[in-house]
Amino acid sequence: MASPTEAPGFDGTRHPSIARINDCWLEGANHGQDDREYAGRIELCAPHIPYLVRASRALTGRMTKYLFDQGVRQFVDLGSGIPTQRHLHEVAQALDPRCHVVYVDLDPAVVSDSREILAGNDQVAYLQADIRDRDLVLGEPAMRALIDFSEPVGLLAIETLLYLPDSADPGALVAAYADALPAGSFVGLSHCGEDSQLREGLDMFSRMFGQPPAVTLREREELEAFFTGLELVDPGVVPVLLWHPQTQDEVGRNPELAHMYAGLGRKR
Ligand SMILES: C[S@@+](CC[C@H](N)C(=O)[O-])C[C@H]1O[C@@H](n2cnc3c(N)ncnc32)[C@H](O)[C@@H]1O
pLDDT of the residue at 249: 66
Q: Which atom of ligand 1 is nearest to the CA of 60?
A: 8
Q: Please choose, from the candidates 29, 38, 32, the residue with its C-alpha nearest in 3D space to the C-alpha of residue 13.
A: 32
Please choose from 163, 167, 169 the residue to mutate so as to test ligand 1's pocket, defined by most ligand atoms within 8 A of CB: 163
Burial class (CB in 10 A: 0-12, 13-18, 19+), 180: middle
Nearest-atom number in ligand 1 for the CA of 132 is 19
Highest mean pLDDT among 10-14, 170-174, 203-207: 170-174
Question: What domains lie within the chain, and their CATH numbers?
Answer: 18-266 (3.40.50.150)
What 3-state DSSP class applies to 78? Answer: strand
- Which of 30, 160, 189 to mutate for ligand 1's pocket (most ligand atoms within 8 Å of CB)? 160
The atom number, within ligand 1, closest to the CA of 131 reads 20
How confident is the model at residue 5, as a pLDDT? 54
Residue 89 CB contacts under 8 Å (≥ 6 apart), including other chains: 75, 83, 99, 101, 103, 118, 121, 123, 124
Q: Decide: 63 and 87 in contact? Cβ < 8 Å.
A: no
Residue nearest to atom 19 of ligand 1 (CA): 130
Q: What is the pLDDT of residues 1-33, one digit of tens each?
A: 334 455 444 444 456 789 999 999 999 999 999
Hey, whose CA ends up nearest to atom 11 of ligand 1?
79
List residues near ligand 1 (CB under 6 A): 3, 5, 18-19, 22, 56-57, 60, 79-81, 104-107, 110, 130-132, 158-160, 163
Asked if residue 175 has pLDDT above 90, the reply is yes
* Amino acid, res. 108: P
Q: How far is the CA of 160 from the centre of ligand 1 (A)?
A: 5
Residue 227 Cα to ligand 1 midpoint, Å, equals: 20
Q: pLDDT tens for residues 124-171?
A: 999 999 999 999 999 999 999 999 999 999 999 999 999 999 999 999
Which of 5, 14, 35, 173 is the best mutation target for the ligand 1 pocket, counting ligand atoms within 8 Å of the beta carbon and taking the most?
A: 5
CA atoms within 13 A on the CB side of 196: 1
